[in-house]
Amino acid sequence: MEAPKSRLWRALLVAVSLALAGNGYAASSQPAKKPSAAKSAKAKSAAKPAAAAQVKPVIEAKAVDLLKAASARLAAAKSMSFTAIVSYEHPSRYGPALVYTTKSDVALLRPDKLRVITYGDGPPSEFYYNGKTMMAFAPVENLVAVADAPPTVDAMLKAAFDSASIYFPFTDFIVTDPYKDIAEGLELAFYIGQSNIVGGVTTDMVAYVSGGVFVQAWIGAEDKLPRRVRAVYLADPLQLRHEMELSNWQLDSPVATEFFESAKAANANRISFGSPQLPAVTKQLPTNPVKTSPAKKP
């Protein structure tokens, strides 16, 4: 599923960028030093073998079966909770990318309950959905946005994105049919092998391209749960990497419905539930920034 940055994620990124800018290490873009003619010629020469090495995309049955198995395991769960640690790169003014990280504790009760508590390199955020309303809460600022919501998690996620640009990077794991979104844009899929490092368990590694995103996924060999996802948007000229570690999986454990509401959030100062109006950060950036396409999320 296409994964644009969430409203709160965008706010986080802007906040971190501004904080670093004040210290002279702004996470903004500056043009890289123009290489010499000799270096350019050498680079072009080195790029030729890579272009010639392109091979015809394949969709291997073993990779597809693993993706289907993981999706089926998640789809069958009536409730789930897990921790998602997300790292995403952003270009620095010196060229190499910087990495920012968020940690989200996620709880889901099908068909109509979701709670997401997020901490990270910026202000924390909380999101509550109880089947009737969705609520985005900024605890530090004591601000909350509340809106009526559709009666299912899938419909609510779409409404949250359409109305307020809210998107969670783990959305593909909590929708009713996770494999559907992968299959709709699947262009390439192959099996890599096994790893005994990620998540403290044996995992099967697969790679696939769906919707213009190259993804490598680590899936538990026994429990079929996703443990790590690494994605690069093929249209991104900087090839920035987005990674997500998934842990503390609990499926079908009892969860009280009160868990998906917050009195503190409900009593916070109200703001409108809509797409964020980002501050004019670009006006503060150095002139002649590198032009890049906005990175999307997995």
| Residue that is written with structure tokens 């609990």 in the block | 250
What would you measure as the largest C-alpha separation in the chain, in angstroms? 66
Q: Collapsing DSSP states into helix, strand and coil, what is residue 26?
A: coil
User: What residues form DSSP beta bridges with 102?
Assistant: 86, 120
DSSP letter (8 states) at residue 152: S
Encoded tokens for 187? 């262009």
Other Cβ atoms closer than 10 A to 167 = 23
* Whole-number pLDDT of residue 122: 84
* Whole-number pLDDT of residue 103: 97
* Whole-number pLDDT of residue 56: 84
Encoded tokens for 42? 């050498």
DSSP letter (8 states) at residue 93: T
Q: How confident is the model at residue 278 (pLDDT cuts 50, 70, 90)?
A: low
Q: What is the mean pLDDT of the chain?
A: 82
* Whole-number pLDDT of residue 91: 93
Mean pLDDT of 112-128: 95
Q: Are 150 and 134 in contact (CB under 8 A)?
A: no
* Whole-number pLDDT of residue 296: 45
266: pLDDT strictly greater than 90: yes
Q: What is the pLDDT of residues 194-237, one digit of tens each?
A: 999 999 999 999 999 999 999 999 999 999 999 999 999 999 99
Q: Which residue has the higher pLDDT, 284 or 167?
A: 167
* Whole-number pLDDT of residue 276: 72
How far apart are the C-alpha atoms of 286 and 252, rounded to whole Å?
A: 51
Task: Looking at 103-217, list the stretches that DSSP marks H as alpha helix, in order from N- to C-terminal side.
Answer: 153-164, 171-174, 178-184
32: pLDDT strictly greater than 80: no
How far apart are the C-alpha atoms of 91 and 97, rounded to whole Å?
A: 4
21: pLDDT strictly greater than 50: no
What stretch of H or E contains 149?
none
* Whole-number pLDDT of residue 11: 38
How far apart are the C-alpha atoms of 234 and 50, rounded to whole Å?
A: 15
* Whole-number pLDDT of residue 275: 79
Q: Which residue has the higher pLDDT, 25 or 179?
A: 179
Q: Which residue has the higher pLDDT, 193 or 54?
A: 193
